[in-house]
């Protein structure tokens, strides 16, 4: 049985999938793992690049989707196709280092959710982050903090490891990129561990953060706070 499924949502990441797969293979050389790429019909040929990877059909799966449907549902669809006991969610642009992913996996004992945090000692952001993007990130975190208290130092991280059973039993209510917030808010009793990491600049391609994504976040927060939730007992 596969122990770890690494779910990677992609949209226009053709230039990143090979170095990412190579980095994961090196970091998890002694672990039974699979990579589940979920591609939203990328016009740059990302799906073709994934199918060309050496381990495609072995350690690598592709979940193709009809269009740009959002990161949260991509994680859900990837988890549904995953075979592992644990689900590791990471970006497809190498901003989330595979070496940190391995540290997260090795830190899982006794926990249900391991979060890579930019906001604790040893964590942070690369120098390529500009001031406006950093301000957006801090403002978004301030908005959600009253609803998750201090359960984690980085509730908006897109880089986390969670037991599949918890993800599968949580109704995904967000549509944007903050599915971690959904997990934390709807599962108040799960055991959480933070580990530090440096959020790197993307290896290739353009950032997906724009005005639409910021608006989606505001609506997602409203759905969590005022919508019906499903809690793991």
Q: What pLDDT shows up at residue 209?
A: 52
Which residues does 158 contact at the CB level (< 8 Å), separation at least 6?
71, 89, 90, 91, 96, 177, 178, 180
Alpha-carbon span 84 to 2, nearest angstrom: 5
Helix, strand, or coil (residue 72): helix
DSSP 204: S
97-147 per-position pLDDT tens digit: 999 999 999 999 999 999 999 999 999 887 665 666 666 677 777 777 777
pTM for the predicted model, two decimal places: 0.85
36-50 per-position pLDDT tens digit: 999 999 999 999 999
Question: Could you tell me the domains of the chain?
Answer: 4-226 (3.90.550.10)
User: Does the pLDDT at position 77 exceed 70?
Assistant: yes
User: Does the pLDDT at position 150 exceed 70?
Assistant: yes
Is 233 within 8 Å of 161 (Cβ atoms)?
no
Which residues does 109 contact at the CB level (< 8 Å), separation at least 6?
none
User: Does the pLDDT at position 201 exceed 70?
Assistant: no
88-97 per-position pLDDT tens digit: 999 999 999 9
């Amino acid at each position: 049985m596969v122990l770890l499924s690494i779910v990677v949502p992609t949209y226009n990441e053709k230039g990143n999938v090979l170095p990412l797969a190579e980095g994961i293979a090196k970091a998890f050389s002694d672990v039974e793992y699979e990579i589940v790429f979920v591609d939203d019909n990328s016009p740059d040929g990302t799906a073709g690049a994934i199918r060309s990877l050496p381990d495609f059909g072995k350690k690598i799966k592709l979940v193709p989707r009809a269009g740009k449907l959002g990161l949260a549902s991509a994680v859900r669809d990837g988890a549904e196709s995953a075979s592992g006991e644990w689900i590791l969610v990471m970006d497809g642009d190498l901003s989330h280092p595979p070496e940190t992913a391995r540290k997260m996996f090795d830190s899982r004992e006794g926990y249900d959710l391991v979060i890579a945090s930019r906001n604790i000692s040893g964590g942070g952001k690369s120098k390529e982050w500009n001031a406006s993007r950093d301000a957006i990130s801090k403002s978004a975190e301030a908005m959600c903090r009253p609803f998750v208290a201090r359960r984690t130092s980085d509730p908006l991280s897109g880089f986390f490891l969670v037991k599949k059973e918890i993800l599968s039993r949580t109704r995904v209510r967000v549509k944007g990129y903050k599915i971690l917030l959904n997990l934390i808010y709807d599962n108040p009793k799960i055991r959480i561990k933070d580990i530090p990491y440096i959020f790197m600049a993307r290896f290739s391609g353009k950032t997906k953060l724009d005005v639409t994504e910021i608006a989606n976040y505001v609506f997602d927060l409203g759905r969590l706070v005022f919508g019906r939730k499903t809690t793991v007992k």
